[in-house]
């Protein structure tokens, strides 16, 4: 029975003798004191009616009516009080669909069910995208859902002048590999032997699971030989590259289900470092030649000075010697 309904429990006990006083019937149960309630007699039968006006779920459970006449005679009654008329025991999530089946409460005349569902992932959605469908059977399939997304599902009916819902359940669709590629892939810090690659993660709605890292592949343009690197960051530096070479680079996100769509870019290593070394190699001998020429000029100059002085000194000696010889003669 539904909560809020008016419910009457009738307990009838057959006796071996006629009884005129039925006040001996006592009720026991949730929220009921063991006192006679509305007891009546009819010959060898005694009965009592226990009435609930707006029964609640706390009053559901096991009830016993008991009559004592030289011995105990009792009748047990079990009362089930329902908060919902629909139960959702079977839920089968897939990647983009959720299959539902439900069980209506017995005795509830229902022709149409309203199935409502909304995503509850605040990380990827600004608001809950709620939808509902009408169905006249005891099962339904929710389609075109987002992968690896949490949904709140409920089935409701119009019963006794009010909308009565089912138990709400939370269902998460299955994860798959990322369905989109990392965005804003760019290169920076390009040198003759290194390229730094940077990117942004896959948009949340297309991650389809928890991103565990990124797969970076790179190689010389139009070459089938590719190097592969993995990282959990959103940037990486490729090292030991060849100067003045075109490289093609791809970046893809990875989750527990596999590798997603990749984004491709390209970059060319510079020749700055190689050119600088070449310039140094050319500059070194040029400077040495200039210095050598200067040293040679300086040496020649010194030699000329020495030679001139030597020549001048030799003339004086020769003259002095002749004069000496002349004086002697």
The pair of structure tokens assigned to 282 is: 């050319």
Highest mean pLDDT among 68-72, 260-264, 304-308: 260-264
Mean pLDDT of the chain: 77
Residue with tokens 């491709």: 264
Q: What is the pLDDT of residues 73-88, one digit of tens each?
A: 666 666 655 555 667 7
Average pLDDT over residues 21-39: 67
Contact 12, 46 (CB under 8 A): yes
Q: Cα 46 to the chain's mean position, in Å?
A: 67
Q: Cα 33 to the chain's mean position, in Å?
A: 55
Residues forming a β-bridge with 29: 32
pLDDT value at position 275?
46
Kindly indicate the confidence band of residue 274, based on its pLDDT and cuts at 50, 70 and 90: very low
Average pLDDT over residues 95-123: 80
User: Is residue 310 scored above 80 in pLDDT?
Assistant: no
Residue with tokens 């920076």: 188
Average pLDDT over residues 179-194: 93
User: Is residue 256 scored above 60 in pLDDT?
Assistant: yes
* DSSP state at residue 2: B
Instruction: Give the chain's radius of gyration (CA, Å).
Output: 50
Element (H, E) at 93: strand 86-93
pLDDT value at position 228?
96
Kindly indicate the confidence band of residue 70, based on its pLDDT and cuts at 50, 70 and 90: low
Contact 208, 176 (CB under 8 A): yes
Q: What is the pLDDT of residues 112-142, one digit of tens each?
A: 888 888 888 767 776 666 778 888 888 888 8
pLDDT value at position 134?
84
pLDDT value at position 138?
84
Q: Cα 78 to the chain's mean position, in Å?
A: 47
pLDDT value at position 65?
80
pLDDT value at position 291?
77
Contact 24, 68 (CB under 8 A): yes
Give, in degrees to the nearest 5, the angle at Cα 116 between 110 and 118.
Answer: 170
């Amino acid at each position: 029975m539904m909560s809020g309904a008016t419910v009457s429990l009738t307990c009838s006990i057959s006796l071996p003798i006629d009884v005129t006083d039925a006040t001996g019937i006592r009720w026991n149960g949730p929220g009921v004191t063991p006192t006679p309630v509305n007891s009546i007699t009819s010959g060898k039968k005694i009965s009592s009616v226990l009435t609930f006006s707006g029964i609640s779920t706390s009053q559901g459970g096991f009830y016993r009516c008991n009559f004592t006449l030289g011995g105990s005679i009792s009748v047990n009654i079990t009362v089930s009080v329902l908060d919902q008329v629909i139960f959702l025991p079977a839920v089968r999530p897939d990647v983009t669909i959720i299959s539902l089946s439900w069980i209506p409460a017995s005795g509830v005349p229902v022709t149409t069910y309203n199935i409502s569902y909304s995503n509850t992932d605040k990380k990827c959605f600004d608001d809950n995208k709620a939808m509902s469908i009408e169905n006249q059977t005891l099962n339904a399939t929710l389609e075109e859902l987002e992968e690896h997304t949490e949904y709140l599902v409920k089935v409701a009916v119009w019963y006794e002048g009010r909308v009565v819902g089912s138990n709400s359940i939370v269902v998460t669709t299955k994860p798959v590999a990322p369905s989109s590629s990392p965005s804003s892939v760019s290169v920076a810090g390009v040198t003759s032997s290194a390229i730094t690659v940077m990117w942004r993660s896959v948009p949340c709605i297309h991650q389809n699971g928890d991103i565990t890292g990124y797969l970076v592949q790179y190689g010389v343009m139009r070459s089938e030989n590719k190097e592969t690197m993995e990282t959990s960051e959103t940037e990486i530096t490729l090292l030991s590259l060849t100067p003045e070479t075109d490289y093609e680079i791809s970046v893809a996100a990875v989750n527990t289900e596999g590798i997603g769509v990749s984004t491709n870019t390209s970059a060319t290593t510079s020749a700055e470092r190689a050119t600088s070394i070449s310039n140094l190699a050319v500059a070194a001998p040029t400077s040495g030649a200039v210095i050598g020429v200067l040293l040679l000029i300086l040496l020649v100059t010194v030699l000329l000075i020495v030679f001139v002085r030597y020549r001048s000194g030799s003339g004086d000696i020769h003259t002095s010697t002749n004069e000496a010889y002349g004086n002697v003669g």
